[in-house]
Structure 1
């Protein structure tokens, strides 16, 4: 089977009904497929390329998890450390038993500022709290820190953005650095991810795609629909090439020791029949074997899925500046790889 031709066919069929806007890189030792689609700037008709930077939304939670694992590796805390012992903020209704492990695995039971089990209008958050006022992890706290627990720590998996905000605060408390500065220094620079960063929405650098929200009759940018700058739960920018550099560095133990890389990539908790979660990373299991590791994200004007297939070591990075497409394309690629 010619994998390159099969992927071209998948994307061609997808674009016939739902044109993708973004970039796709499929790579092992060599590039199997790589192409940009649509426009990074529709008004100026600037095309997306493989060197275009795109928002990652929640796809960058893995950076937060790596940061925490680095601190554990350096004996600055443990996965069993209680939240209450490593931040200076008050959470009057939180269970005292919430640990770092619970936060990393979305099993803490703390309230979320955007609970995806019950909410789907991310833009609606900023009607009460202007998006331009959310510029650091602590700025999220008024949205959830005084709310009641959803369930007891460790009881079950429930995807939780606020948990990763708290992990970012832990990084800041223990290192004395702003969270984004820590990640850029200790992850992006170590990987050679020179095109990646936490860019302000009102100060986007060159080669950065504008996120677009499409309706039936018009479109608009996402500048008023997401926080003005990303943080521990999402919002960094990267190219598909930088995503490849990140996974390559992670899997070759350049960011963590073999022991802690393995801990991060361990299926710690189950979401459904085939899907598990490690620390900041989704894991698809087929039978008793790991089929792929992946991260994914979706915000208004942002869609992405970045995968590494465990056996073949093939990378598939799909990242776009619209609301749909990455997951559907990724699932078709899964089918090809599985065969």
Structure 2
């Protein structure tokens, strides 16, 4: 009996110590967001996940400054290029269903493209080695749709470099990947992702941007201009789907994060392929299928960031540690998320104390 009570007391003390440590870590993370305490600030939402447990889940500032709508864990932010991991997942799901091959040529889906399309594969679109020109210089007052990007590329006569020869980050490639999903599945990318990813994972609030403006619990975008925070919510490229069109919350992203440890969406072999280096942006910084891959703290670090008019996002995973950080904000210019994420990593993975 004495041995039992000794074991019980030891377990109780261990649990108490762990709880105290979590409180200290949360307090250290809180200190990173002191600027949000006073005044009408844009919003930011942060979630830290360890082995399925939400260690930190807090929001600061406003999702809608004009109406004093505070940000919370259900606030939907436009996650910009973090969308690319969903687009890549959709392509791999279709590949596993036998509906396409990563070696298929771009010209097989869009025969009206110039001759260079016959040298670009789906895989090269996914890993940013296609060499496609960008759509960013398109001069139009009307919002671009995905099909408009295809037509812009139809008018180009060359690529930046020989497809497959090097890395060059390409939003155009991911817009075309979204159109390939439509060609193969019969569903627009937003419909495919909603049916095959959002609904199965119970990401109930997540959606794609749309011209009707019907986004539940949405944040409005802001940017810092000449010392003033101004409402800057959309641009002519804001409604493109494949490269950055998703709105989501940190609450919904918890389900996405946890699904990436399982075979809920694709078989584990495919997950391993998704997170395996497929191209290299720079020494030590690789790209898989919709994810950057590097090593930090002696283990794999898988991540993607996003920035667009009025919004920024950063999502990082340490799969071997089952540790993740999600940070969404409704501000781009004047806000840098990477230093915040780096500080959170040091608090939880290195035990640093960032309190001032």
* Mean Cα deviation higher: 59-68 or 202-211: 202-211
Shift of 1:334: 2.9
1:209-268: CA deviation from partner (whole Å, max 9, x where unpaired): 001122124333233425353401112100101111112112211111111111111111
SS at the partner of 2:340? helix
Aligned partners of 1:212 and 1:77: how far apart in 2? Answer: 40
SS at the partner of 2:129? coil
Aligned: 1:159 with 2:169: yes
**Structure 1 residues 220 and 105, CA gap change in structure 2 (3 angstroms):** same
SS at the partner of 1:325? coil
* Partner of residue 121, structure 1: none
Q: Greater CA radius of gyration, 1 or 2? A: 2
Aligned: 1:57 with 2:68: no
Q: Which runs of 5+ in 2 are unaligned?
A: 1-17, 351-356
**Structure 1 residues 228 and 14, CA gap change in structure 2 (3 angstroms):** closer
CA contact (8 A) 1:202 1:223 kept: no
**Structure 1 residues 156 and 26, CA gap change in structure 2 (3 angstroms):** same
CA contact (8 A) 1:4 1:33 kept: no
**Structure 1 residues 22 and 184, CA gap change in structure 2 (3 angstroms):** same
Q: 1:107 aligns with which of 103, 106, 129?
A: 129
Aligned partners of 2:76 and 2:322: how far apart in 1? Answer: 24
Aligned: 1:173 with 2:183: yes
SS at the partner of 2:155? coil
* Partner of residue 7, structure 2: none
Aligned partners of 1:143 and 1:337: how far apart in 2? Answer: 46
**Structure 1 residues 71 and 214, CA gap change in structure 2 (3 angstroms):** same
CA contact (8 A) 1:62 1:280 kept: yes
**Structure 1 residues 234 and 224, CA gap change in structure 2 (3 angstroms):** closer
**Structure 1 residues 202 and 77, CA gap change in structure 2 (3 angstroms):** closer
**Structure 1 residues 302 and 201, CA gap change in structure 2 (3 angstroms):** farther
Question: Alignment length, in residue pairs?
Answer: 324
Matching of residues 65-104 of structure 1 within 5 Å: 65-85=88-108, 87-104=109-126
SS at the partner of 2:277? coil
Instruction: Using structure 1 for the length normalisation, give the TM-score.
Output: 0.88
Aligned: 1:23 with 2:45: yes
Matching of residues 6-17 of structure 1 within 5 Å: 6=25, 8-13=27-32, 15-16=34-35
Aligned: 1:310 with 2:310: no
CA contact (8 A) 1:26 1:314 kept: yes
